[in-house]
Amino acid sequence: MIYRNSPPVLSTPDESACFYKSPDWEYEKEWRCVRSFSTSESRLVDIDPALVTEIHFGHMMRPGNIAQITWYAKLLEMNPRFFQTSPLHSQWKFVNTRKRVVPCEHCSGQGFLMEDPEL
């Protein structure tokens, strides 16, 4: 990762943009790998559900997608911590707030309940 106090300005779209983050995130010791796919290649990847310890919902994520992910986590017997991500407009960063997220049992997988957990 390349940590900078402001986002890069690129003259053309470039895969290198995937490697920039604010220094506030350096503690994560994150690494990223970028792979290009041809239009005919599948983008499905097998991941052991036990490896998923956190799920972060982006601030613009649609509720239907959150509901689907919540149901998949339950069906795969995952026990992740959930977070809602919100932009901090005064700085180049996002804030992750821990949430309790459970699938709604009354709406056929089309909804979810999200609340602050009792920590």
Q: Which domain holds residue 42?
A: 2-115
Q: What is the pTM of this model?
A: 0.62
Q: Is 5 exposed, middle or buried (0-12, 13-18, 19+ CB in 10 A)?
A: exposed
Domain count, the chain: 1
Per-residue pLDDT of the chain (119 residues; tens, 9 = 90+): 999 988 888 888 888 888 988 888 888 888 888 878 888 999 888 888 988 899 999 889 988 888 889 888 988 999 899 999 998 878 778 888 898 887 777 766 566 677 777 65
Predicted pLDDT at 40: 93
**Angstrom distance (rounded) from CA 38 to CA 42:** 9
